[in-house]
Amino acid sequence: MSERGVPGQAMLEVDDLRVQIATRRGIVRAVDGVSLEVEAGEAVGLVGESGSGKSMTLRAILGVLPPEATITSGRVVLDGADLVELPRAQLNKIRGPKIAMIFQEPMSALNPVMRVGPQIAEGPQVHLGMNRARAAERAVELMRRVGIPDPERRFRSYPHEFSGGMRQRVMIAIALSCDPELILCDEPTTALDVTIQDQILRLLARLCRESNTSLVFVTHDLPVVAQVCRQLAVMYAGQIVERGTVQDVLTRPCHPYTLGLVRSAPDVDHVRASLVPIPGAPPSLVHPPAGCRFHPRCKFAEEDCTVTDPRLRMIDAHRSTACLHFERCLDELRTEGADR
């Protein structure tokens, strides 16, 4: 872990990433100009609803897009190398020791006919050049670290013999097996019960803290992101519309979409008379609306929103928004606060 990056320095840089998917209805611009930096040891949350392009962004970083999707432009720079340009053989050397991924559904990500121990040991054997016995030892140690009880015996179990939570622990052990600098998480707790989710989130937070690993954490669940991440990026219709620290973005949203998300979810600590849904539905990404993509659903929208394509811009040192009239969100929050 000696060559771990210095905190405060970007270790992953995604620059103007664009992903298109060819469908029968036309070309879907699933990711449309996403830029993102992740510092060493930092956890960044990527939040959005289904179809916002958050999972596609994650898959594009690792180069595991579905066959019908292609990266049309942009760079993914990890430690000085552009992953988009890298040939497959080179990419395979990076997957594992540099970047690992944790998927939502561990049952479909794990090999069902292979015992879990060898699955965890595979990475260290291939990437770290360990022999079988050493790799097996490491697998047992990893299983212990992720909280799988009785690891020596469970080493020889198959994935189907594990519960959902334990399978996700196996996934985490595999992700950690080659000591990566960056772990990509695609909704890792969505399929789990709230008690198990709590265990997994605490485990992930602890492991990343201990080994100074960076995280990109994709979820649709705002409270979940608040448990793991310090930084938050909100995605809508293939673009990042707001960025900042989690606490700041959730308590002081500067984009009407984020404001909508915060208000439409019931909050367990503050019961409101009724929830405020976001009107309308997300736009088609084949023909996205001109100007700001959120304007057809936005109550603050003005003439200029329908024409100007707003870029993500800094509004203070740690905060950026893509809304032309973000002050109105703050005004609305202020008047609401006065009512309370």
Partner 1 sequence: MTTPAATTDPRMTDPALPLLDARDISVSFSLGSAIVARLRHEEHVLHAVDGVDMVIQRGEALALVGESGSGKSTLARALSGLQRPDRGEIRLDGKVLPARRSRADQRKIQMVFQDPYSSLNPRLTVGGMLHELLRVHRVVPRGEVESYTRELLGLVGLTEEAVHAYPRQFSGGQRQRVAIARALALRPELLVADEPVSALDVSVQATILNLLQDLRAELSLTLLLISHNLAVVRHLCDRIAVMYLGRIIEVGPTETLFASPRHPYTQGLLAAIPRMTFTADGDAPAVRGDPPSPLRIPGGCRFRTRCPIAQPICAQEDPALTSSGDPAHAAACHFAFTAAVPAPRQPADEAGAVAETE
Residues in contact with partner 1 by CB under 8 A are 49-50, 145-150, 163, 165-166, 169, 193-199, 201-203, 205-206, 220-224, 226-228, 246-247, 250-251, 260-269, 271-272, 274-278, 281
Burial of 134 (C-beta count, 10 Å sphere; 0-12/13-18/19+): middle
Instruction: Give the nearest distance from C-beta 87 to partner 1 in angstroms.
Output: 38
Q: Which is nearer to partner 1, 133 or 268 (CB)?
A: 268
Q: Which is nearer to partner 1, 260 or 291 (CB)?
A: 260
Instruction: Give the nearest distance from C-beta 339 to partner 1 in angstroms.
Output: 19
Instruction: Give the nearest distance from C-beta 280 to partner 1 in angstroms.
Output: 9
Q: Which is nearer to partner 1, 10 or 191 (CB)?
A: 191
Burial of 233 (C-beta count, 10 Å sphere; 0-12/13-18/19+): buried
Q: Which is nearer to partner 1, 13 or 332 (CB)?
A: 332
Q: Which is nearer to partner 1, 214 or 258 (CB)?
A: 258
Instruction: Give the nearest distance from C-beta 52 to partner 1 in angstroms.
Output: 9
Instruction: Give the nearest distance from C-beta 118 to partner 1 in angstroms.
Output: 21
Instruction: Give the nearest distance from C-beta 149 to partner 1 in angstroms.
Output: 4
What is the number of residues in the chain?
A: 340
Instruction: Give the nearest distance from C-beta 48 to partner 1 in angstroms.
Output: 9
Q: Which is nearer to partner 1, 48 or 96 (CB)?
A: 48
Strand stretches in the chain, DSSP E: 10-23, 26-39, 43-47, 69-78, 81-82, 99-102, 182-186, 214-219, 231-236, 239-245, 313-316, 319-321
The C-alpha atoms of residue 67 and residue 339 are separated, in whole angstroms, by 52
Greatest CA separation found in the chain?
67
CB 243 within 8 A of CB 320: yes
The separation between CA 306 and the C-alpha centre of its own chain, rounded to angstroms, equals: 30
Q: For 240-264, b where at least 16 C-beta lie within 10 A, e where not — what string?
A: bbbbbebebbbeebbbbbbbbbbbe
Other CB atoms within 10 Å distance of the CB of residue 61: 24
The C-alpha atoms of residue 3 and residue 80 are separated, in whole angstroms, by 14
Instruction: Give the nearest distance from C-beta 147 to partner 1 in angstroms.
Output: 3
Q: Which is nearer to partner 1, 139 or 148 (CB)?
A: 148
Q: Which is nearer to partner 1, 113 or 271 (CB)?
A: 271
